[in-house]
Amino acid sequence: MKKPRLITPLATLLVGIAMLSISSIRAEMRTWTSADGKTLQAEFAGSIGSGSTAQVKLKLENGDLINYPISKLSEDDRIFVKGNLPTDPAALAAAIDQLVIDKIKESYYELRAELASLPQNEYLSNAEKLKRKQEIEREMEMCLPNERTTDQQFLRRIYLDLAGRIPTFDEAEIFLSERNPNKRANLIDQLLDSEAFAMRMYNYYSDLFRIREGVFMMGNGDLKVDPYIEYVKQSVRDDKPFDEMARELLTANGHIAQNPAAGYMLADSGMRLCNLSNTFTIFMGTEITCAQCHDHPFEEVYQMDFFKMASFMGETETRIRGRGDSMMMMSMGNNSRAEQERMGKILKAAGKLRENETTDRNLSGWMGTTNIVVHDDGSNAIQLPHDYKYDDGEPNMKVEPATYFGDIMDVAEFDSPRHAFAEWVVSPNNPRFTINTVNRFWKLAFGIGQIEPVYNIPGHLDGQAQNYELLTFLEEMMKDMDYSTKDFFRVIYNTQTYQREAETMSPSLAQMDKGSYHFPGPVLRRMSAEQLWDSLVALTTDNPEGVTRQGAQKYREWMQTDTTAFKTADEILAFKAKWGEIGRLTKYDGQYVSRDDNVGGEAMFRASEMRQPQAPGHFLRMFGQSDKQLIENQFKGGSSPQVMALLNGKITNSVLTSPDAYLIEEVANGRGSKGDKVDKIFLSVLTRYPSSNEKSAANSGMRARTDSGMSDKQKMAIEAKAIGNVIWALVNTREFMFIQ
């Protein structure tokens, strides 16, 4: 814990720096050649910066260190530098820690100097000086790196960040009893390869990409989204490079069942301009929505730029128009309408339709979703708005695709303008794509981005980012890793910076504004709705990832069914029933989940597997699950309905305390003493053991009044209820809800 007053923070800092020196760089004397042929004898001593301004550090024979622009080296030397930069996670993590410490130190000196000169400041009144003095002192306190997390703190946080939930009792016991000095790094590796990581990242991406059942903004149609969900999870499992994933999402053609990445474009079906704005926000951290109606008020983005960019998407349609030619449903030949009517007649004859109906309304609607297909139709629909008022164009004028920063794209070289656009987005020369990616991922780990808000990265980064050197280092690192998400997170989570205790104070708005929070540790975060829910799931079962959604394959099968083979109403109705099965959850043994699998009457399965998003009244929505209508629309603020749900609701009063709940089964059936029960409950819920004070309070809270006349079953129910008091109290703590 941080000391309340500043005592020799510099000494602590310097010790920290000494421990973090990089030792992995090969140091031997060699001949360096510049691009224009000059040579020099020196040792390689690392590099600083990135991109075109990066410099190599060279140690001369006399011991002097010089910096030399990498761009001015010969090609051989440039390859040497690249090949000799640290690549293993530990060394990269150490380099990040160094950059963090450098910045903290620099910030500390600046603040100290400002504090010293404050009395002489002529521009501030005494009251303002006092206020500024307090701010400086507060910020200086945040210049003291936090202590390293205990194993218990680390365990809980890394599970929440990588698995999306707290560790189960067994997982906690295993890690805490392990003696291996590399156990943290090993756990990071293990979690990155777990199914829980795919679920966790799916929750993140589904908020970013707005993945929802029915897909459409307006909720018309009932297009199944299962293949798209599975695509995102599989991309995480396979560690698909993030630029590759972005390219696939932006260029996907076809039906969601055949080409699941098409789900991305479908989220904004019929709204090309909104889709463009959203793509800028998601993949480039750039807000250009305002330029849809007028020139951007703060940045150099003109309305014309917006429409030139939109023109890249101008050929993209999300429907196959007309009736007879809808594709996909292979069996239907060329006429799904006729097929629907044919089946309608069979159903009618069997008395399976309502009096006035000629086709099965639902079945026809579902077959109609085969029309929903992303494709480029070759004619560009983008024109300037009817009220365009700038002098660089006329209202309703056609606009040709053109970029306003980054690469200039020749549309003719690509399959479609949209393909050209996708290449432009993910190009290494796009100044925003990689920055946006690392900034968003940094925020996921640390709670605040290097640049805030993450969806609005300013045109000029230096001075706006919390730590410009670090941000550009991360950018280069991501490029060097070929956009491997897992490798990136492996490094981030192995840093000392991440493994320090969470900051005990909130960064002030002024700090956010100035970019002067320098990460003495991650900020304290409330669990996301999904982290909270999935943690509750981890308290009710020993296998939280045991129930999954398997709809993608079933949907594909449904789509490929040869319906023309159906001759009876029963066959048609069986086919109809299969639609409902697509979304059903499946247990690890392949069986469908039933009501019997509920715990305490509630379906306790991971959020990523359940309805996307949940219904408005569900616990997940109450705690801020995104409605998936807007990018990153989740919230972490509190409310009275939340508190009432935790105090009086089902979850804390009957689900976690149900005899079927793992927590109760484990504790009630455990053979240990009563004291062990308290330890186990604490370890399960808070991932730590109780203090002696807490233990005695818990024991008094768990006192159950049983008597010898009761059956074993009665006794167990009463004991479960008594234990329930402790569980109730623990889940209601802020310690449970926040991630230290």
Partner 1 sequence: MKDQLKNLDQLSRRQFVARTAKTALGVSVIPLADGMQAVQAAGGGQAEHCIFFYMSGGMTHIDTFDPKPGTETGGQTKGIETGVAGIQVSEFMPGIAKRFKDVALVRSMTQKTGDHRGGSYWMHTSYAPRATIVHPTMGPWAQTILGKKHATLPDSVLIGGGGGGPGAGFFGPALAPLPIGDPEKGVQNSRPAQGVDDDLFDKRIDLMNTFDESFQRKFKTDEVAAYSQFYDETLNLMQSEDLDTFDLSKEPDVEKKLQSYGNGRIGKGSLLAKRLVSSGIRFVEVRGGGWDMHNNLWQAIPQRAGELDKALSALIDDLKAEGLFEKTLIVLGTEFGRTPKINANAGRDHFPRCFSTMFAGGGIQGGQVYGKSDKLGMSVEENPVTAGMFNATIAHALGMDLNKVVYAPSGRPFLVAGHTRDPQTDEIVTEYKPIMPFFS
C-beta closer to partner 1: residue 41 or 696: 696
Q: Give the shortest CB-191-to-partner 1 separation in angstroms.
A: 24
C-beta closer to partner 1: residue 234 or 725: 725
C-beta closer to partner 1: residue 479 or 636: 636
Coil/strand/helix, residue 223: strand
Task: Please state, in angstroms and rounded to a whole number, the distance separating the CA atoms of residues 698 and 168.
Answer: 20
C-beta closer to partner 1: residue 568 or 629: 629
| DSSP per position, 497-561 | TTTBPPBSSPPPHHHHHHT----SSPBPEEPPHHHHHHHHHHHH-S-TTSEEE-HHHHHHHHHT-
Q: Give the shortest CB-123-to-partner 1 separation in angstroms.
A: 18
CB of 436 within 8 A of CB of 430? no
Q: Give the shortest CB-740-to-partner 1 separation in angstroms.
A: 8
Q: Give the shortest CB-87-to-partner 1 separation in angstroms.
A: 33
| DSSP per position, 657-696 | TSTTSHHHHHHHH--S-HHHHHHHHHHHHHSSPPPHHHHH
Q: Give the shortest CB-149-to-partner 1 separation in angstroms.
A: 13
- The DSSP code for 651 is I
C-beta closer to partner 1: residue 97 or 501: 501
Backbone angles phi, psi at 665, to 5 degrees: -55, -50
Q: Give the shortest CB-657-to-partner 1 separation in angstroms.
A: 10
Written as six digits, the tokens of 569 are: 């109403």
Q: Give the shortest CB-219-to-partner 1 separation in angstroms.
A: 5
C-beta closer to partner 1: residue 187 or 655: 655
Q: Give the shortest CB-711-to-partner 1 separation in angstroms.
A: 19
Coil/strand/helix, residue 388: coil
C-beta closer to partner 1: residue 506 or 714: 506
3-state SS string for 544-607: CCCEEECHHHHHHHHHCCCHHHCCCHHHHHHHHHHHHHHCCEEECCCCECCHHHCECCECCCCH
Q: Give the shortest CB-489-to-partner 1 separation in angstroms.
A: 21
C-beta closer to partner 1: residue 9 or 515: 515
- What lies within 8 Å, CB to CB, of 434 at 6+ separation is 428, 475, 478, 479, 483
C-beta closer to partner 1: residue 11 or 509: 509
Residue 294: count of CB within 10 angstroms of its CB: 12
CA angle at residue 506 from 504 to 510, to 5 degrees?
145
CB of 70 within 8 A of CB of 48? no
